[in-house]
Amino acid sequence: MSFIEILLLAVGLSFDTLAVSIVGGMCLKNLKFGHNVRIICTFGLVQALFMLIGWLLGGSFVHYIEAYDHWVAFILLALIGGKMILDSIKPAESKSVDLMDTSKLLLASVATSIDALAVGISMAALQFDVRRIVVALVTVFAVTAAASELGLKGGEWASRLIGKKSSLIGGLVLIAIGIKILIEHLAA
């Protein structure tokens, strides 16, 4: 697998992170530099960590993971999205995809990184050596962090455009991503 192929793979893995970051950016107001770095690094690190775990596990556990990974992603995204929709109907000012909340940030990071686990297993099956897996991990981290930054900025812009409906729209988007993941895996 060439570097270009690894880069394209990283871009493909980062689309869910981009979408969730857009939703998060719609909910966050006046994001400070340090908070921004925390969010994008968490998304990047979790994505790379899941790929590393997959690579370390190798092909021996692939059938266990493939059997339920799509359900885990769907349930996590549906829960976060559903809470956003409920919060958008309530008169309270709570924000359900506040990526400043560590537990919500980790849930979103895990939900968007489950596919990276399967990719890591595939890389073990392709007999990636340590040098190649390090290149892949650094690339996945960088691309995922960039996608998250792009999403946060895009979500902030969209929130100014859409206003109070952003939590409702964001919740629907997260549920749609979860449904897409579920359908793709069930149809395969």
Lookup: tokens for 115 = 């596919």
- Read off the pLDDT of each residue in 155-172 and give the average, rounded to a whole number: 75
> Of residues 1 and 117, which shows the higher confidence score?
117
- Look at residue 84 in the predicted model and tell me its pLDDT: 67
Q: Find where tokens 């190649």 sit.
A: 132
Of residues 181, 24, 51, 22, the one with CA closest to residue 105: 24
Please provide the average confidence, as pLDDT, over all residues in the chain: 82
- Read off the pLDDT of each residue in 44-56 and give the average, rounded to a whole number: 95
Three-class DSSP category at 96: coil
- What percent of the chain has a predicted confidence (pLDDT) above 90? 26
pLDDT above 70 (res 66): no
Lookup: tokens for 111 = 């939900």
